Amino acid sequence: MRISVCRKEHFNAAHRLYNPGWSDEKNEAVFGKCNNPNFHGHNYDLVVRLIGEPDPDTGYVYDLKKLKDLIRENVINKFDHKNLNLDTVEFKKLNPTAENIAITIYNILRTKIDDKYEIKITLYETERNFVEYPY
């Protein structure tokens, strides 16, 4: 009787796609306008999904108010209104693609949420470009 419960949050951040092991020309060729050295930015929409069994006393799989607070404390406060490349430890060396941001958020929340829950992250970089981890 597995059921998933989902909470949507958002954050606004600047970033730049860049591989420091490559020349400027190769970075420009691969990442195009996303490689702009002065950064660009997005409104990121984040959906966190927990999969588990409902508690018979509450009817909850997980209190979504608590999930909201957990996401805000551990993810939104870290990334909102930040430059992902310059202001965060997570992306000092890791290229902040949507894929890597989703994996990073998964790893952060995985340490905060009981292992009896499966976790899935959906991250919308724009309304038209989005990723899901793990699939």
Measured distance CA(55)–CA(60) in Å, rounded = 6
Under the binding rule (CB under 8 A), the answer on residue 23 touching a copy of itself is: no
Under the binding rule (CB under 8 A), the answer on residue 90 touching a copy of itself is: no
Under the binding rule (CB under 8 A), the answer on residue 76 touching a copy of itself is: no
Measured distance CA(127)–CA(70) in Å, rounded = 25
Q: What is the DSSP string of 55-122?
A: -TTT--SS-HHHHHHHHIIIIIHHHTTEEHHHH-STTSSS---HHHHHHHHHHHHHTTS-TTSEEEEE
Q: According to CB under 8 A, which one of 74, 76, 90, 95 is a site residue for a copy of itself?
A: 95
- The residue (of 74 and 131) whose beta carbon lies closer to a copy of itself is 131
Catalytic residue among 9, 28, 34, 90: 34
> Is 34 one of the annotated active-site residues of the chain?
yes
Residues near a copy of itself (CB under 8 A) are: 1-10, 12-15, 17, 19, 21-22, 30-34, 36, 38-43, 49, 51, 54, 57-61, 63-65, 80-83, 86-87, 94-100, 102-103, 126-135
